[in-house]
Structure 1
């Protein structure tokens, strides 16, 4: 009877050791996934910031162009009204 209980306990220990090994693998996989997601997030943020700067520059150029055209139009209207 003692031998049977010992065998059951050894079997249970073996099962638990296997579960621990699986959990370690799962943990490593999850950590790798989190690291990959963090890298992708950082890359996306960097791209978004770069695009924001480009759009801001384009917007400023466009605003200057509109302002200059409006100024020219005002000058032409002044000349025509004189």
Structure 2
């Protein structure tokens, strides 16, 4: 499951990142940031969360962005 969510650098979680940013930067800016970060993530292979933090004023909210451990539920063994 983690490979599905993060095998593409976290692009599968782009909408979740956008929703996490809305209270801090507004809907339009959040969508703009996530779109820009997604393009850079595809080009560089860098994780989406890292790219978002680097290109935005989301540094103060990065702790609230979905993380790998918080966004992927592990299957019971």
Q: TM-score, normalised by structure 1?
A: 0.24
The structure having more radius of gyration, on CA atoms, is 1
Higher helix share: 1
Q: Tell me: higher relative CO, structure 1 or 2? Use CA pairs within 8 A at least 6 residues apart.
A: 2
Q: TM-score, normalised by structure 2?
A: 0.26
